[in-house]
């Protein structure tokens, strides 16, 4: 059995010198959480298995700044580093990997042009390509009989709709079908974020997490909603995720990565300590 991974996520905004890590609720109401390189160093020392940086500004100027952040981080940490946010070309992927990243996360560009996943996977290898899927619950099941209908915690039927541009635009695409397609096209992992849970500290969206974990052969990274170690345990035990992404509980020192891993180990989850 593979060990479960704990992955701190750093949302980086680059509208000031050097960048700043921020955290919000459902991708808005952002508050500052610290310097990305310093936070990355701390998580490396605490025993994080990987790190994810999401460039939430992702402008052309921001991309240049992000390369500097990646290079400085890669010099300081020795765990896999995934970079996402506005990546829409092979050249951008090449720049990011050359700067020291191990993987890239692609989202909106992949939805707009699914063949981008295949092209990137063919060039750089599936192990470098993470498809990020942001989704929202959609309770309109009567008019969407072709969608994958899941039962929510209270028994309500719903399907999960892919959203893009940081959750601002609904696509009408079924998240389960899109995840299957991303795997077929050569994605090495799925980073699944529930927009309904992002920043709420209410726990992962377990129905969709479990569905993708059972349906796909590639790893599923659960994201959105962690408020305590119990939520991460549920992401693994109920959601069957391969990795757990979290931000606020680590950024603001509510829990250390070591504390979370010890909590998981006590409950029979295989982690690297």
Active site residue 134: yes
Q: How far apart are CA 191 and CA 87, in angstroms?
A: 15
Q: How far apart are CA 137 and CA 130, in angstroms?
A: 22
Q: How far apart are CA 269 and CA 234, in angstroms?
A: 10
The residue written with tokens 């063919």 in the block is: 122
User: Which residue of the set 134, 198, 205, 242 is catalytic?
Assistant: 134
pLDDT along the chain (273 residues), means of 10: 92 63 48 74 95 74 72 92 93 95 96 98 98 97 97 97 91 98 98 92 97 98 96 98 94 92 98 95
Domains of the chain: which residue ranges?
Answer: 3-265
Q: How far apart are CA 54 and CA 49, in angstroms?
A: 17
Q: How far apart are CA 263 and CA 272, in angstroms?
A: 12
For residue 125, give both structure tokens.
Answer: 């290898």
Q: How far apart are CA 223 and CA 190, in angstroms?
A: 10
- Do residues 199 and 25 touch, judged by C-beta distance below 8 A? yes
Q: Which pLDDT does position 65 carry in this prediction?
A: 61
Q: Minimal CA–CA distance to 195: which of 110, 134, 105?
A: 134
Active site residue 205: no
Please give the CATH architecture assigned to the domain spanning 3-265.
Alpha-Beta Barrel (3.20)
What string of H, E and C letters represents the secondary structure of the chain?
CCCEEEEEEEEEECCCCCCEEEEEECCEEEEEEECHHHHHHHHHHHCCCCEEEEECCCCHHHHHHHHHHHHHHHHHCCCCEEEECCCCCHHHHHHHHHCCCCEEEECHHHHHCCHHHHHHHHHHCHHHEEEEEEEEEECCCCCCCCCCCEECCCCCEEEEEEEECCCCEEEEEEHHHHHHHHHHHCCCEEEEEECCCCCCCCCCCHHHHHHHHHHCCCCEEEECCCCCHHHHHHHHHCCCCCEEEECHHHHCCCCCHHHHHHHHHHCCCCECC
Q: Which pLDDT does position 30 carry in this prediction?
A: 47
Q: Which pLDDT does position 11 carry in this prediction?
A: 81
Q: Which pLDDT does position 64 carry in this prediction?
A: 61
User: Which residue of the set 11, 35, 55, 242 is catalytic?
Assistant: 11
Q: How far apart are CA 137 and CA 101, in angstroms?
A: 32
Cα-Cα end-to-end distance for the chain = 16
The total of other beta-carbon atoms located within 10 Å of residue 29's CB is 10
Q: How far apart are CA 158 and CA 149, in angstroms?
A: 5
Residues 6+ apart with CB under 8 A from 46: 256, 257, 258
Q: How far apart are CA 99 and CA 74, in angstroms?
A: 8
- Do residues 87 and 105 touch, judged by C-beta distance below 8 A? yes
């Amino acid at each position: 059995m593979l060990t479960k991974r704990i992955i701190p996520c750093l949302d980086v905004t680059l509208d000031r010198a050097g960048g700043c890590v921020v955290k919000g609720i459902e991708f808005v109401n952002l508050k500052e959480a610290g310097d990305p390189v310093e936070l990355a160093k701390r998580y490396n020392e605490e025993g994080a298995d990987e790190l994810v940086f999401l460039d939430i500004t992702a402008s052309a100027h921001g991309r240049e700044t992000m390369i500097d952040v990646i290079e400085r981080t890669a010099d300081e940490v020795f765990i896999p580093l995934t970079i996402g946010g506005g990546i829409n070309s092979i050249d951008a992927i090449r720049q990011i990997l050359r700067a020291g990243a191990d993987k890239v996360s692609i989202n909106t560009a992949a939805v707009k042009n699914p063949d981008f996943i295949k092209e990137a996977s063919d060039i750089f290898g599936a192990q470098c390509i993470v498809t990020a899927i942001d989704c929202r619950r959609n309770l309109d099941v009567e008019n969407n009989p072709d969608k994958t209908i899941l039962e929510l915690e209270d028994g309500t039927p719903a399907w999960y709709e892919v959203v893009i541009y940081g959750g601002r635009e609904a696509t009408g695409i079924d998240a389960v079908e899109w995840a299957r397609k991303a795997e077929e096209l050569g994605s090495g992992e799925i980073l699944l974020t529930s927009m309904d849970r992002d920043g709420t500290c209410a726990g992962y969206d377990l129905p969709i997490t479990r569905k993708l974990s059972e349906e796909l052969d590639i790893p599923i990274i659960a994201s959105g909603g962690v408020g305590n170690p119990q939520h991460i345990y549920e992401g693994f035990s109920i959601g069957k995720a391969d990795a757990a992404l979290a931000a606020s509980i680590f950024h603001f020192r509510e829990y250390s990565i070591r504390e979370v891993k010890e909590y998981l180990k006590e409950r029979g989850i295989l982690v690297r300590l």
